[in-house]
Structure 1
Amino acid sequence: MKSALVAAILLTISAAAASDYRWSLAPSLPVPVQEIYPTVSQQQIIVAGGLRAGKGNLLEIDDRVWRLSPGAAHWQPAPALPERRHHALLVGTDKGVWSLGGFIESDTGQWTNTSTVMFLDQDSESWQLKEPMPVTLSETVYAHLSDGIHVAGGRSATKQKNGQWLDSKDTNWHGVLNPDTGIWSTAPVLPTPRNSACSVVLDAQWHVIGGRTVEGGNLAIHEVFSTETRKWKTLAPLPKAQGGLTCQAYQGDIYVFGGEYFTDGGGVYHDVWRYSPRKRTWSSVSTMPVPRHGLGSVVLDNKIWLIGGAAKAGARDTKTTVSQFQRAIHR
């Protein structure tokens, strides 16, 4: 009797927590795409490039760019990238959008790592090439801080080869782009080299969460960079080791969505994790209606938008889905 009562109480608590959040659908992307890094610029969501599974186990890589305003019924085309590209980082500013690195298709393969830096003024008709990064870099994370655009981690090309998926290594490189001058400087390295992580800025702290390594698989590690001390420290890890995930700072907490694993046939994570910086703890708060990895996310109009991604590990079952996640109860 006692155990049944405890179970009933826990079920009630779980249901109450789930009711704190609402899921809804937003306009679908015009094409299925994953491995994207959406951003917001001038109150519009921007998606650029990406990939999906094609025939003969080859990837179909995209160069198209899409924009969506809150309340609009459809995505609209924007100036395309100069070439097809996936895993390229997008950074939105008041003046336009930066595209950093990513993989392109070349004579050596579809995973040719680049150091390309481009900028799209939203009033212009094409992307402008800028001075490249000091390193080739893909599957990285960024933070737009007071001293510039910080970029850390990801995958960088090996010295021997560049073109295939295994022709890259995890990096702990931490660079800062001055968007006014286009000049890069270096900063304290990321303690754990990794790729496919996610990151957010909350209370002047840059959190880098999860990810994976080229040879070692998924990670649960959670490291944070202080803009005041200019040092990294380690915080409570994710409850599960997850790579290919996305996260956002929202109403004072951090929310983590999706990711994939390759063990036991592979699959996609459906949990929604919340990190409380006040309690320094993680909790499971919801379940994704359409679990995905390789998706992107932004915060706009008091909602977290979850964009694209794939419902199966790898490039299979890539989606056009755009979901909205909103907290219904403000604490």
Structure 2
Amino acid sequence: MKLSILDQAPISKGYTSSEALQFAEKLALLGDELGFQRMWMAEHHSGPSFASSAPEITAAHLAAKTKQIRIGTGGVMMMHYSPLKLAEVFKTLSALAPGRIDYGVGRAPGGDHHSIQALAEGRPYTPNDLYDKFATSLQLINDQKTNDPLYNKVMASPHQVALPEAWLLGSSGNSARQAGRLGVGYSFAQFFNGDMSKDIFDAYRTYFEPSYFMEAPIINVTYAATVAKTKDEAEFFARPIDLSRLFLVKGQIRQTMTPEEAKDFPLSEMDQAIIEKNRKLHLVGTATEVARQLEQEQRKYQFDEVMINSNQHSYETRLDSYRLLAKELI
């Protein structure tokens, strides 16, 4: 099974933003060494929990440090940027690391309404054009004339460079057909809401048209996972992530607490019920247990690749999760 990494540069309690980004480099080097397929950086704005606000910059650094693993964004939030800027950023990355760059985009804001307004410099925002914006950026990356006259008198520099792989992210199925029509990869965020279905993936494959960016349909699915040598250890390390998701449901954004703090954190019956319901979004167990579950889901839903998001409090625990899974699946 192809195995990949999604990193949000989480800032756990007691750590700094700089440490979170420096850890991304360690994680990329480990992924490169162990044979992971790709590593993507997410985009999050205006919060204390994640340091990955400029994934394309981190991607440039990681690409320079690694040798084989594909590096990209999962994703850059295209609502905030011009198609020309997106094209020039990823053409530059692809020129610097030809054959190893992924241009992954999402339609979400990656932040609250204050972030959206600030990134747009206070201008009104209309989200109806995002698929068109993505299509325009793909045309500019490929040195083509666009369907938008605004961009037909400009050239996206650098010119005539290796194409990145292009991917469209989704968490509800709404983007599946569009990804197929545009001939790009489809990345499903199972860890976000757990609504994966074979119908979504069948729709993507049905509508897929080969493109300069991808000859055949490719689907990857992102899971949150906590893996340890024993089930009890995994449960101990997973508790802070379960609590972070609980806080998010309540509209609270907090840094990931230590497992020791999480173990004794007081919960109401309703809190506990929410945690148990959300466990479908978080795979917890030994490497063998989690690997078997991933293999079963791959057979059921027929996706091509698994991407793991592992956000435990300790950086060493996070590295161990990836090491243990790689030993089982790669």
TM-score bucket (shorter structure): 0.3 to 0.5
Higher RCO by CA contacts (8 Å cutoff, separation 6 or greater):
2
- Higher helix residue share: 2
- Higher strand residue share: 1
TM-score normalised to the size of structure 2?
0.34
